[in-house]
Chains A and B, each alone.
Chain A
Amino acid sequence: MIDGLRRLGRSTLFWLNRLGRATLFLLRLLSALPTLAKRPGLAIRQLYSVGVLSLPIIAMSGLFVGMVLGLQGYANLVDFGATSSLGRVVALSLARELGPVLAALLYAARAGSALTAEIGLMKATEQLSAMQMMAVDPFARVYAPRFVAGIIAMPLLAGIFTAVGILGGYFVAVQQLGVDSGAFWSQMQSTVKLFDDVINGVVINSVVFGWVANWIAVFEGYDAIPTSEGISLATTRTVVNTSLVVLAVDFVLTALFFGV
C-alpha cells in the first residue's frame, strides 16, 4: 500500500516534470516564430506532409462516418416517424463533436506519429546536433515549421471531414433510404447555427485540438531517447497521449459551449 502511494507520487512528479519541460519547449518554439516568418517555405513543405498527405484518410473516414451516421440515425428515428430530422442529426453530430474529434484522432495517428518518428530519428542520427553545431537553431528550422503547419492543417482537415461526412450522410439518407432531400437540408439549415455549431464546433474545437496534437507530437520527438526503442516508445506515446488529451479537452470545450 505504501509502495503504491509512493509510486503514485513518483509518477505524478514525473508527469509534472514532463509537463514543465513541454511548456518550456513550447515557449521556446513560439519565440522562434518570427524567424520562421522569414522562411515560409519551410512551413509550406510541412503543410504538404501533414496536411495534404493526411487528406485521403480524413476524407475516406469522414465519408464512412457520415454514412454510418445516416444509417444509424435512420434506424433510430424511423420508429418515431421522424426521419425528416435525419439531416440535422447527421450535421449536428458531425459539426459539434465527431468532425473535430475524429479528425484529431486520425491526425494524431497518421501525422502526429510521423512527426514524432521523424524528429526522433533526426535526433538519433545526430542531425539535430549537427544543425546546432552549424549555428542553425533547430527550433526555427525543424520544430516551429511542423508545429505551425499542423495548426493550420487541423481545422482544414476537420472541416473537410465534417463536410464529406454530411455528404456521405446525405447520400445514404436520400439516395439509399429514401428520406426526402428537401427535408434533409431544410431541417439541417434551420437547426445548425453558424456561430454555435460551425464556428464554435468545428473551427474552435479543431484549432485547440490542432494545438494539442502538434505540441505533443513535436515535443515527444524532441524528448525521445535516441535509440530505436526510444523512438518507438515516443511514437506510441504521441498517439496515446494526444488521443486522451483531445478527448479530455473536448469534454471541457463541450461543457463550456453547450453546457447549461
Chain B
Amino acid sequence: MGAFKKMELAVGVFVALGLAAFFMLAMKVSNIAELGEDKGYKVTARFENIGGLKVRAPVTLAGVRIGRVVGIGLDTHTYEAVVTLSIEPRYDRLPTDSSASILTSGVLGEQYVGLEPGGMDEYLKNGGALKLTQSALVLEKLIGHMLTNAVSGDNPPAKTP
C-alpha cells in the first residue's frame, strides 16, 4: 500500500495548502485585527448631516485612527443625526471641548470622523458627548454655493459653523 501512503501525503499537503490560503486571507487580507474589539468607551456626537458616513467608519485624531463609528441614529425631536463613536481605551485624554468633523478621504473615498482636540482640562468619558461638530460636505450643496457665488460676483460666502 505504498501508493496509498503517498496519496495520503499528497492529500495532507493539499489540505494544508488550503488552510494556509485561508490563513493568509484572514491575516493579511482582511480586517481581522479589528475584530474582538470594542473595549472602547462610547461618545456621541450630533450632526446636521452625516453625508455618507457608515457604521465601522474610522475615527481619527491628527490622522491617527483612534476608534470607530459604532452606531448611527436619528433624534426625532431635534432632527439631528446622533453618531456613537467608540474610542480605544488608551486614548483617554480627549478634552471635552474637542470637535468632530465628517471628512472624506481623498476626493471619492469613504467618509470618516476626524477629531480636533480642544483646550479644556476635563476629558471625555464613557457616555460623554462632543458638542462641537461639523457636518459632512454634501457635494450638491457645495456646487450650489459655488454657482450662486459665481452668479453674485465672486464673493466667497461666510462659512457656517
* Chains A and B touch (C-beta atoms under 8 A apart): yes
Query: What residues make up the interface of A, taking CB atoms closer than 8 Å to B?
Result: 41, 44-45, 47-48, 51-52, 55, 80-82, 91, 95, 152-153, 155-157, 159-160, 162-164, 166, 185, 188-194, 197-198, 202-203
Q: Does B147 contact A (CB under 8 A)?
A: no
Q: In the complex, how many angstroms separate the beta carbon of A229 from the nearest chain B beta carbon? A: 33
Q: Quick one: given A189-B33, A193-B30, are A156 and B25 in contact (CB under 8 Å)?
A: no
Q: In the complex, how many angstroms separate the beta carbon of A197 from the nearest chain B beta carbon? A: 7
Cβ–Cβ < 8 Å partners of B31 in chain A:
189-194
Is A91 touching B7 in the complex (CB atoms < 8 A)?
A: no
Pick the residue among A45, A157, A164, A202 that contacts B7 (CB under 8 A). A45
Chain B 5-36 interface residues, beta-carbon cutoff 8 Å to A: 7-8, 10-11, 13-15, 17-22, 24-26, 28-33, 35
6 closest A-B pairs (Cβ-Cβ)?
A: A156-B18, A163-B21, A159-B21, A194-B30, A192-B30, A160-B21
Query: What residues make up the interface of B, taking CB atoms closer than 8 Å to A?
Result: 4, 7-8, 10-11, 13-15, 17-22, 24-26, 28-33, 35, 58, 106-108
Is B17 touching A48 in the complex (CB atoms < 8 A)?
A: no
* A193 CA / B22 CA spacing, docked (Å): 13
* A153 CA / B14 CA spacing, docked (Å): 9
For B15, the closest partner residue in chain A by CB is A156
Cβ–Cβ < 8 Å partners of A55 in chain B:
14, 17
Is B8 touching A44 in the complex (CB atoms < 8 A)?
A: yes
For A51, the closest partner residue in chain B by CB is B14
Cβ–Cβ < 8 Å partners of B18 in chain A:
155-157, 159-160
Is B11 touching A52 in the complex (CB atoms < 8 A)?
A: yes
Q: In the complex, how many angstroms separate the beta carbon of A158 from the nearest chain B beta carbon? A: 9
Is B4 touching A45 in the complex (CB atoms < 8 A)?
A: yes
Q: Quick one: given A156-B17, A159-B25, A198-B26, are A48 and B7 in contact (CB under 8 Å)?
A: yes
* A48 CA / B13 CA spacing, docked (Å): 10
* A81 CA / B26 CA spacing, docked (Å): 28
The contact sample of 29 A-B pairs, CB cut-off 8 A, is A44-B8, A44-B11, A45-B7, A47-B15, A51-B14, A52-B11, A80-B107, A82-B108, A91-B29, A152-B15, A156-B19, A159-B25, A160-B17, A160-B18, A162-B25, A163-B20, A163-B22, A163-B24, A185-B28, A189-B28, A191-B31, A192-B30, A193-B31, A194-B30, A194-B35, A197-B30, A198-B29, A198-B30, A203-B22
* A192 CA / B28 CA spacing, docked (Å): 10
Cβ–Cβ < 8 Å partners of A48 in chain B:
7, 10-11, 14
